[in-house]
Amino acid sequence: MLPNETAVVAVFAVVYLGMFLGGLPRLKLDRSGVALLGAIAVIAATGMGLEEAARAVDLPTIVLLFAFMVVSAQMRLGGFYAEVARRVGALALPPGGLLAALIALAGALSAVFSNDVVCLAMTPVVLRVALRRGLPPVPLLVALACAANIGSAATLIGNPQNMLIGSVMQLPFAAYLQAALPPVLASLTLLWAMLAWRLRRGPSPAPAADPGVGSSAGTAVSARVAPGSGTPADAGSPGPADADAEPPFDRWQSAKGLSVAAALMAVFLLTPWPREVAALVGAGVLLLSRRLHSARVLGFVDWPLLLLFIGLFVVNHAFAATGLAGQAVAWLAAQGVALAEPGVLLVAGVTLSNLVSNVPAVMLLLPHLQGFEAGLLLALVSTFAGNLLLVGSIANLIVADLAARDGIVIDWRSHAALGVPVTLGTLAVLGAWVVVR
């Protein structure tokens, strides 16, 4: 290899080691910082022009992601998520019915809005409902995280990786929704059945909190989580918005956000208008406000996640230019292991998503896939796989963080006791669905 190719491979390896570890040892870097520094390094090592680096970034994905962050910020500032969760929790339902209602609510909201924001707003409410009714809180909280992850797979706007797949592969919104809805609904039903059985075993004492848990200092689990980054940030790092206090319910602001979201869904389903353009217009409408300052709304935008995408786009572009990735895929195909095969893609998607998290995993696999079916399967697999481990999804970490502040510990063992069987069950549903298709 040429010297600059060797440098690119080295940077690529270090960046994805950072994706696996959630940062780099002995450095105050999270995944976003690693990706950004990786992009800077490959630009310097290869002499890549800034115009080429800019072309490597899929701008429609960045714009769509930004626009829906604004929509989600509007809904959260209107207190909508917490209000609907409180109303569901107040229903006179038996434990199994309450669980079903919470799973349906989290899944439906996450299909349209960010699953991370849904978990951020609903976790304190669900925890209070569980404690007030004398129910074990951990199953309900894990159900919330799992339902948010599964539900977000139903649309091409439910989570960042789906936005990326839909944009790069130009997947039609309505066709994706129609195809993805059956396995998503079946998986949500399976999630309810498995956790309802757990609840029927009877209340169990909540896990004791570790010393210091219940405050904003907490343990490693209760460190501040940078939304969307997939990893806890430094406990003392500044955040753009305070996640601890949900705004009170504002009927007008919630109605405004819902109206824009409904209009966008109609545009996506019924018109050929580019999704990123429509979403950007919707975000602009929401920023025109006499009551919510634009700085406050933009404070809820997850800028580190946007930087993560930009950095990985540049690093992956430089690595692809070496030709090594294409050669590796061609060699595997010659051995009978083709990524286009559903079984191979399912295994690769689950493995990579739990090694480097789902967004980097999707970025690695996307250049080697073609066609609607491959994009559909990748979106579902990479999202469902996030329920396997506590660190597999930012939604899991958000729920664990907020629960720890109230003295309820969800460590990797207690999460795995529920997350592993749920993930294996939903992947089995997905595999059966692939066979039927």
Q: Give per-residue pLDDT as tens, 190-216.
A: 999 998 887 776 544 444 443 333 333
Instruction: Using the predicted structure, report yes or no on whether residue 243 has a pLDDT greater than 80.
Output: no
Q: C-alpha 148: how far from its chain's center?
A: 9
DSSP output for 143-168: HHHHHHHHHHTTSTTSSHHHHHHHHH
More confident residue, 338 or 268: 268
More confident residue, 93 or 437: 93
Angle in degrees, CA 304, 241, 112, rounded to 5? 70
Instruction: Using the predicted structure, report yes or no on whether residue 115 has a pLDDT greater than 80.
Output: yes
Position 201 scores a pLDDT of 65
Contact 383, 430 (CB under 8 A): no
Position 227 scores a pLDDT of 39
Return all residues near 238 (Cβ < 8 A) that are at least 6 apart. Answer: none
Position 217 scores a pLDDT of 31
Confidence of residue 222 (pLDDT cuts 50, 70, 90): very low
Position 168 scores a pLDDT of 93
Confidence of residue 237 (pLDDT cuts 50, 70, 90): very low
Domain boundaries defined on the chain: 3-436
Contact 81, 75 (CB under 8 A): yes
Question: Dihedral of the CA atoms 340, 184, 124, 359 (nearest 10)?
Answer: 10
Contact 235, 223 (CB under 8 A): yes
Which of 174-183, 205-214, 251-260, 324-333 bottoms out in mean pLDDT, i.e. has the lowest? 205-214
More confident residue, 338 or 262: 262
Return all residues near 265 (Cβ < 8 A) that are at least 6 apart. Answer: 112
Contact 434, 347 (CB under 8 A): no
Calculate the average pLDDT of the chain: 86
Position 241 scores a pLDDT of 43
